[in-house]
Amino acid sequence: MMLSFLFVTVAVSFISVNGKQCRVQSGNENLILSINKKLLRSLGNKNIAPNPSLYIGLRLSDVHNQKTEQEYLIRLQEDMKEPTVSSALGSDSQRSTGLLALHTLALRASCETANSANMRKQLQQLKHRMHQEKEHISNTNTPQSNYYQYSLGVLALCVQNVKVDPHVIRKLVNEVKKVSEIHSICIDTLSMGGLALQCLRHLDAFYDEHLNKDIASAALKVKETLQKAQDDNGIIGNKFSTLLAVQVLLAMESEHSGCSKSLERLVTESKIGTFYNPMALSMLLPVLKHKTYLDIGTMDCLNETDNILLSAKPAGDIQITENVLVNLKVEDTLNHINPEVFKDTVNIPKGSSLLNVLNALKENEKLTFETENSLWGPYLTVVNKVKALAKDKTYWQLRTLDTVLLEGIADYKVYHDDTIIIRKVRW
Ligand code: B12
């Protein structure tokens, strides 16, 4: 009896000591502060719709610039009042499930509680949307949006202790179990599912034993799949999906989670400037602060600091003098008769983005294209009048000769002799 007590004590302390290892090593405080400042500065762009993820990332930090965050919250609230969002393709559409969920999480991160009229309305809307999503899955086998957004919806309700419809949960559990078994999993989607499931584990009083068991085993499956996907350098999927995967490992922190190796890698990548897209920064800052989206539910906004000062923006890049040659091919693989849409070589200043390349061709009246604004930046939707739309489950894939780009048109920087292929494919 005494021996088994001793064993339990030792085992528990081993887990907690090991758990604590998933922390950024000391000496990186200035790096983390500079990331916090970059994210705060990114709020200044008034030309694009406010992004709830950026606000959430900042709220999960332990240091703040209250005025900047407060002003952004006002912009977010104004935006939430808009019933529809305008699309670059000319039609007004309803706000996506993911955006609705992120707005709800942002509102909670501002410490608006579940009883406020504002929040009640938001939660009601989200519950209704999740019902529609669930029906859509029943009828077509896929959500109206995608499983990443479906999971975000569950998460946003769950962190506020709102009972999520068991049928909605069941669909998430099934999907997570299914995708964990297949080879080409989308790590981001699996991670968001894992966060939602981990949150649901704390709401077990709402559900029967059978569902609780399934939630726990699906959450474990996510953790195991992420651990299996982790490479020797700590990358899980790719550099960007590692951001969310680390959140999951942090949220499920336990013995040998592999979390610290990936966290260390994120620190290294941060030092070499891999993460500059505000969306990536908003997912990076919480994990550097050892926080996850699950922590939003317990935020009380009391005794917060207000000590981040934003000095003038640091000087921009050095003047570019050199030019580079870039080959661009546009193909519509779904058009078997005439797949080649466009082909040319462009002479462009070094350091240009793929968007700069497309703009240069547009200015010379060689090519036309359209984009739609998204949380990650401009999303390419139409090239030379050929549309690739979500409703048809097609998209313009950005690739080189042998790899798929890890960034969008505004972020990817072309280099000399680069060959970019923009290919219409199905997803
Ligand atoms: C689902 C998804 C897709 C779907 C979107 C279709 C759909 N309706 O489901 C498909 C397969 C088409 C797709 C395409 C691409 N994706 Co994608 N995608 C995602 C995922 C898993 C979820 C997006 C989402 O629903 N967000 C929630 C909602 C609320 O946000 P949203 O901004 O309104 O969502 C829309 C946009 O994000 C847009 N979108 C999707 N991917 C991308 C990528 C970029 C760069 C941009 C600007 C927009 C965009 O589609 C979303 C749905 O309408 C994210 C993962 C993540 N962590 O965000 C990756 C992610 C955003 N995608 C990524 C990438 C790289 C791409 C591609 C550039 C891949 C490629 N080489 O072609 C292309 C975009 C090309 C283009 N035409 O501009 C990266 C972005 C990393 C970065 N640094 O920019 C992510 C983070 C995945 C990853 N870890 O690598 N994607």
Which tens digit of pLDDT belongs to each residue from 196-241?
A: 999 999 999 999 999 999 999 999 999 999 999 999 999 999 999 9
Determine, yes or no, domain membership for 5.
Answer: no
pLDDT tens profile 275-324: 999 999 999 999 999 999 999 999 999 999 999 998 876 666 666 679 99
* pLDDT given for residue 12 in this prediction: 34
| Ligand 1 touching residue 377 (CB < 6 A) | yes
- Residue 386 shares a structural domain with residue 352: yes
| CA 304/CA 229 separation, integer angstroms | 37
| CA 132/CA 152 separation, integer angstroms | 15
| Ligand 1 touching residue 371 (CB < 6 A) | no
Q: Cβ of 227: how many Cβ atoms within 10 Å?
A: 16
Determine, yes or no, domain membership for 95.
Answer: yes
Q: How far is the CA of 19 from the centre of ligand 1 (A)?
A: 32
Question: What 3 state SS string does the chain have?
Answer: CHHHHHHHHHHHHHHHHHHHCCCCCCCCHHHHHHHHHHHHHHCCCCCCCCCHHHHHHHHCCCCCCHHHHHHHHHHHHHHHHCCEEECCCCCEEECCHHHHHHHHHHHHHCCCCCCCHHHHHHHHHHHHHHHHHHHHHHHHCCCCCCHHHHHHHHHHHHCCCCCCCHHHHHHHHHHHHHHHHCCCCCHHHHHHHHHHHHHHHHHHHHCCHHHHHHHHHHHHHHHHHHHHHECCCCCECCHHHHHHHHHHHHHCCCCCCCHHHHHHHHHHHHHCCCCCCHHHHHHHHHHHCCCCHHHHHHCCCCCCCCCCCCCCCCCCCCCCCCEEEEEEEEEECCCCCCCEEEEEEEEEECCCEHHHHHHHHHHCCCCCEEEEEECCEEEEEEECCEECCHHHCEEEEEECCCCECCCCCCCCECCCCEEEEEEEEEC
| CA 209/CA 108 separation, integer angstroms | 29
* pLDDT given for residue 31 in this prediction: 98
Question: Which pLDDT band, with edges at 50, 70 and 90, does 24 fall under?
Answer: very high
| Ligand 1 touching residue 397 (CB < 6 A) | yes
Determine, yes or no, domain membership for 14.
Answer: no
Question: Which pLDDT band, with edges at 50, 70 and 90, does 10 fall under?
Answer: very low
* pLDDT given for residue 321 in this prediction: 79
Determine, yes or no, domain membership for 205.
Answer: yes
- Residue 67 shares a structural domain with residue 181: yes
* pLDDT given for residue 2 in this prediction: 41
* pLDDT given for residue 403 in this prediction: 96
Q: Is-contact 411 356, C-beta < 8 A?
A: no
- Residue 212 shares a structural domain with residue 359: no
- Residue 125 shares a structural domain with residue 227: yes
- Which range (15-19, 258-262, 373-377) has the least confidence? 15-19
* pLDDT given for residue 391 in this prediction: 86
Atom of ligand 1 nearest to the CA of 376: 47
| Ligand 1 touching residue 379 (CB < 6 A) | yes
More confident of the two residues 160 and 1: 160
pLDDT tens profile 128-159: 999 999 999 999 999 999 999 999 999 999 99
Mean pLDDT of 265-271: 98
- Residue 277 shares a structural domain with residue 357: no
* pLDDT given for residue 172 in this prediction: 98
- Residue 244 shares a structural domain with residue 370: no
- Residue 145 shares a structural domain with residue 260: yes
- Residue 35 maps to which CATH number? 1.50.10.20
pLDDT tens profile 345-358: 999 999 999 999 99
Q: What is the mean pLDDT of the chain?
A: 91
Determine, yes or no, domain membership for 1.
Answer: no
Residue that finishes a domain, picked among 282, 298, 314: 298
| Ligand 1 touching residue 179 (CB < 6 A) | no
| CA 27/CA 36 separation, integer angstroms | 16
| CA 348/CA 357 separation, integer angstroms | 7
Nearest Cα residue to 169 out of 197, 192, 195: 197
* pLDDT given for residue 86 in this prediction: 56
pLDDT tens profile 41-97: 999 988 899 999 999 999 999 999 999 999 999 999 999 888 666 554 445 578 999
- Residue 259 shares a structural domain with residue 353: no
Residue that finishes a domain, picked among 249, 264, 298: 298
Number of domains in the chain: 2
- Which range (95-104, 110-119, 259-268) has the least confidence? 110-119
Determine, yes or no, domain membership for 254.
Answer: yes
- Residue 349 maps to which CATH number? 2.170.130.30
| Ligand 1 touching residue 186 (CB < 6 A) | yes
Q: Tokens 């060689």 map to which residue?
A: 366
Question: Which pLDDT band, with edges at 50, 70 and 90, does 7 fall under?
Answer: very low
pLDDT at residue 331 is higher than 50: yes
Determine, yes or no, domain membership for 148.
Answer: yes
- Residue 288 shares a structural domain with residue 347: no
- Residue 171 shares a structural domain with residue 268: yes
Determine, yes or no, domain membership for 8.
Answer: no
* pLDDT given for residue 84 in this prediction: 67
- Residue 110 shares a structural domain with residue 148: yes
Q: How far is the CA of 35 from the centre of ligand 1 (A)?
A: 22
- Residue 277 shares a structural domain with residue 401: no
Identify residue 299 by its one-letter amino acid code.
M
Atom of ligand 1 nearest to the CA of 187: 89
Structural domain for 364, as ranges: 323-426
Residue nearest to atom 82 of ligand 1 (CA): 407
Residue that finishes a domain, picked among 249, 283, 298: 298
Q: What phi, psi does 345 have (nearest 5°)?
A: -115, 135
